[in-house]
Every structure is written in structure tokens, then in C-alpha cells.
Structure 1
Amino acid sequence: MENKRLGITSGFAAYFMWGLLGVFWELLSVVPAMDTLAYRIVWSLVTISIVLTVQKSWAEVWHVIVTLIHNRKIGWIILSAFLISINWFLYITMVTHEQATEASLAYYIMPLMNVVVAVMFLHEKLSRSKIIALTLVVIGVIILTIQTGSLPLNTLLMAASFCFYGVIKKQVPLPATISLALETVIVAPIALVYLFLSPHVMTQDGPRITILLIMSGILTVIPLLLFAVANKNTDFITLSFIQYLNPTIQLLMAVFVLHEAFNWHKVIVFAFIWSGILVFIFGSFSSYQKSKKAFKP
């Protein structure tokens, strides 16, 4: 019971922090998005290196690297590093260009995109509730496309990049600290070269922005570690409910803190998305309850 309470508390804390990050990136809007991404990668590596040093886990990291190379799975880690970097870049770009509501929409869509991937690549069957949920979400995306005059590519790419990142994580499960360390090590050289060539200097916008850029690494690592604790101590269905806290907070921050327009067009789009999510949650909960009964002795 104590472990489950710890898992739920950690899950809420992780998703709450992720939800608030939109406001944090908005504070860095004076810095070009690509530079912000590069600083985030570099300072994340510094932060996770300190964590691993405190934990005395470098020997384990080296063992994991050798094992991944031996098992020919290192390519998946390289791909996951680039996928999460794409996701970070899109999110930073959208939030700093007054598209935080569209960014939150991506995280609402993402769980249902996982279902599509499971059907296409893992050959899982769609239940009736999932078909209805996907239909409602597709209608929402179509309406958004008609209203804006173009397909919301950034929103869909954000959802897809994190979706496939999650698929890889399931294929190559690693402890959160080691996973983040490997991913940042892979992309950090590119980030460092970019920062070396970029005309932007970290200190040029004043000490406040400099401190925020350094903090970007800490704010990347902490929620990930909290999520690792939640994932270990919480059942899947509970964590599935908690995950919607992230985009909900993002949406509220976008409307009430960043003052983005949320007109009736967006209300209609989100109404379809939320309806799809409710159907999806209800169907998932029903399936979970049935499976629990089936396995009872």
C-alpha cells in the first residue's frame, strides 16, 4: 500500500511538472528554439552525469552499452535519442510561437496513436470502444485542419515522435537514469557543435536567462526520475489516468497564463478529442476489470 501511494504521488508530481514546463519554455522565448534544445540536451547530460556519479552507476552504464552493442540493440537507442530530441524541439517551438494549445493536443492524441501503432505493427485487435475513440479523435483533427486550412503537422509529429519513442522504450527497457544518459550522450556532440557554430551566446540575454537555460537540464531530469518511481510502483491503468494531467495543465496554462486565444473553433475540436479520450479510458478500464476477474483464482 505504501509503495502504491509513493507511485501515485510520484506520478502526479511528474505529470504536474511536465504540464508546467510550457510556461518555463515561454520564459526562454528570446532564445532561438534550436539553441534552447541544444542547451537542454547539454545541461541534461551534466545533470544526469551528477546523478549517476552520486549513485556510483557509471560501471552499470558501461555494462549496458557493451550489452546493447553485443545484442545489436544500440541502434534503437540512437533512434530513440533522435525521436525524443525531435519531440523536445517541436514542443519548445510551438510553446514559444503561441501554439501551446496545439502542443497540449498532441499529448491528448498520443495515447490513441499508441493504439494505431499497436494495430499496425503489433497486430493487436481494435475493440469497439477504441474504434469509437479513434473516430472521434480523427473527426477532431479533420475539423482543426479545415479551420486552419492545413494539416496540424507539428501536433501530429509531436504525438508520433513520442509514440514511437515509447515503442522503442518497450522494446529496449532500461532504467530511467541510464536511458536518459545514453540518449543525451548520443545527441550531445551534435548539440555542442551546433552551439559552437551558433551566433547565440548563453549569457547574452542576461543572468536570468542564463540561469533558466542551466535549469532546463534539472527540469528535464527530475520529472523523468519521478516517472520512473511511478512506473515501478503503480499499476498501468492508474498511470494511464494520471497521464492526462500533463496536457490538461498545459492547456490551462496556455489559456490562463500565456493568454492564448481559445475560441469556439478550438472548443469544438477539443470536445471531440476529449470525448474520444473518455471513451478510450472507459473501454480501457472495463477491459482491465475483466482481465482482473479472469485471473482471479
Structure 2
Amino acid sequence: MTRDTLQGVFLALTAFLWWGLTPLYFKQVEAAGPMEVLSHRVIWSLVLLTLLLLARKRWSEIKETFSSPKIWGWLLLSAVLVAVNWLVFIWSISNGHLVEASLGYYINPLVNVVLGVVILGERLKLLQGIAVGLAAVAVGYLTYIGGEFPWISLILAMSFGFYGLIRKRLPVGAQVGLFAETAMVTPIALGYLIWIGAQNEMTYIAGGAEISLMLMLAGVVTTVPLVCFAAAARRLNYSTIGMIQYVGPTVNLLLATLLFGEAFTEVHAISFGLIWFAVFLFSAQSFVDMKRAKKQVAL
């Protein structure tokens, strides 16, 4: 393993561990309510990304991105998707549904496979097909036997799946893309804060210095793992990142059950067991594909 690869693994682990631990932050600011927290996340992320991109002298990339109506239009759609994803995730934490949220991020790579087949016309491989089938059985079991439709899991998986599909096809970097997305959503976020402020319902400032400072840190919480992930993606192949990504939902699940005291029933255990086996098959297929690609390069 080269030094560059080791750095990539470290950066990827940092990103996914950070994402896995973000519920600890959102628990600290839950008094503000999901919509206010989302608004601060959008605004302070934009502030931090602006400073970061200015420091790196990448303003020309931003101008180029906004000068293309086609790219601008797709980024507007991706902005809506990421805002929905963030809002549902924040809501799930403050309402005791982090277990379901973690399930959504386990399912997400399998949703990506389905989107690739249906929209991009990619060929579904055997182990991938079995994995997708097992995920469908898990969702059906949780709905029918558990008596609860996993809407949180599916919204998170689908919104992030479509978001990834759009961003994959756009010639826009991760940081510039998120800058554009947060810039588009910021007017709505500011409008919401002004509205609740006029009704004396805003936690920011009125809630005290501690929670106000915590809300301002939302930009750091969002941007740091993104920078680490972007750096890791330049050093690692997609299959390696794909296997490391399960660190995030695993940490989410551990926090939900061991720290936040959320229920993990027998129905959850069976559903997650099916998903974990599906993840194993999916990872095995990725590993086989990676080995095959290396052999072809060697030849």
C-alpha cells in the first residue's frame, strides 16, 4: 500500500467517522428545531465554503458554474435533494429515529445500483441483484411484520441516491457544487429565520450564547468531512471508498442504541441482518470487480 493510498484511507475514515458522529452535534442543538438547525447549516456552510474557495482562488470555477444554465438547473435540483436529506436526518435525530436513519444509509449504495440500472442502463451483476433483492425483503419485512413503513430510511436513501446520480454527471467539484447548492437555498433559509424571528420563536441569540455558537458551528460540521472525502476520492478507487462508507451508518446505529437509548427490536435485528448480508454481497461484488480490473490493466 502506497503512502498516497494510506493517506486516502485515513481521510476517508475521518470523513465517514465524522459523518457517523454528527448526531452528537445535532442532539446538542435540537432545542432550535429541525428547520432552524437546517437553516443555520445551510447559511454557515455557505459562509465557510466562500472563505475556503476564496483562499484557494477558485472563484473562476464558481463563475463558470453559474454561467451555464444547464449546470445551474441541475444544481438547483440537487440543492433541493440535499436540503430534504439534511432536514429528514436532523428530524430523525431529534425525534428518536436514528436507527431508521442508519438503515437508510446502509440501503443507499443498493439504491445507487438500482438507479444505475434503471436510469443509466448499467448491467445488474449477480451478487448486486441478490443484494438488492435482500434489501427489498428487509424493507417489506419491516413494513409488514413490524407494522411501520420505513419512510425515513427510504427518503434518506432515495434523496441521497438521486443527489449522487446528478452530481456524478456534472463537471463540478464537490466544494464548488456544495457552495452553489447552499447559495441557492440560503435565501429560503434566511427568509425562514427572519419569519420565526419576527414571531419571537428563533433560538439563535435568544436561546443564549452557547446554543448560538453551536449553531454557527454547523458550517464546520458540514464542510470538514466534505473536504476530507474529496481529498480521499482523489487518492482511492471507488470500490475502496464504497467499503469504507459503511463506517458512517454503523456509528449512527451504535449511537442510537447505546447512547440515545432507541429501541432495537427483534424485527429491527432481522431487517438489519438482511441488509448487512446484502451489504456483504455488494462489497464482495465490488472487490471482485476491482481485482478483475487490476488483472486487465496488468495484461
Q: TM-score band (shorter)?
A: over 0.9
CA distance in 1, matches of 2:228, 2:49: 14
**Which of 221, 239, 242 is the matching residue for 1:240?**
242
- Shift, 1:97, TM fit: 0.4
Correspondence list, 1:95-110, <5 A: 95-110=93-108
1:16 is matched with which residue? Answer: 17
Tell me the SS of whatever aligns to 2:291. helix
1:47 is matched with which residue? Answer: 48
**Which of 268, 273, 276 is the matching residue for 1:274?**
276
Q: TM-score, normalised by structure 1?
A: 0.95
- Shift, 1:148, TM fit: 4.0
CA distance in 2, matches of 1:6, 1:175: 20
**Which of 261, 264, 267 is the matching residue for 1:262?**
264
**Which of 231, 234, 241 is the matching residue for 2:233?**
231
On the 8 A contact 1:4/1:233 being kept in 2, the answer is yes
On the 8 A contact 2:43/2:189 being kept in 1, the answer is yes
- Shift, 1:294, TM fit: 2.5
- Shift, 1:281, TM fit: 0.8
1:289 is matched with which residue? Answer: 291
On the 8 A contact 1:113/1:163 being kept in 2, the answer is yes
On the 8 A contact 2:103/2:249 being kept in 1, the answer is yes
Q: Deviations over 1:136-172 (max 9, x none)?
A: 1111111111244242112101110000100011110
Tell me the SS of whatever aligns to 2:234. helix
Give the aligned CA root-mean-square deviation in angstroms. 1.3
Q: Deviations over 1:5-42 (max 9, x none)?
A: 22111100000000000121112221111111011101
CA distance in 1, matches of 2:130, 2:173: 35
Q: TM-score, normalised by structure 2?
A: 0.95
- Shift of the 56–295 alpha-carbon distance from structure 1 to 2, 3 Å rule, reads closer
One-letter code of the match for 1:132? Answer: I
2:35 is matched with which residue? Answer: 34
CA distance in 2, matches of 1:160, 1:95: 18
- Shift, 1:192, TM fit: 0.4
- Shift, 1:234, TM fit: 0.7
On the 8 A contact 1:23/1:258 being kept in 2, the answer is no
Tell me the SS of whatever aligns to 1:287. helix
Correspondence list, 1:148-227, <5 A: 148-198=146-196, 199-227=201-229
Structure 2: give runs of 5+ residues left out of the alignment. none
**Which of 71, 74, 95 is the matching residue for 1:73?**
71
- Shift of the 215–147 alpha-carbon distance from structure 1 to 2, 3 Å rule, reads farther
Q: Mean alpha-carbon deviation: is it higher for 258-267 or for 17-26? A: 258-267
CA distance in 2, matches of 1:114, 1:173: 19
CA distance in 1, matches of 2:266, 2:279: 20
2:8 is matched with which residue? Answer: 7
On the 8 A contact 2:65/2:72 being kept in 1, the answer is no
Structure 1: give runs of 5+ residues left out of the alignment. none
1:82 is matched with which residue? Answer: 80
CA distance in 2, matches of 1:146, 1:208: 44
One-letter code of the match for 2:215? Answer: L
Aligned length: 294
One-letter code of the match for 1:187? Answer: V
- Shift, 1:291, TM fit: 2.5
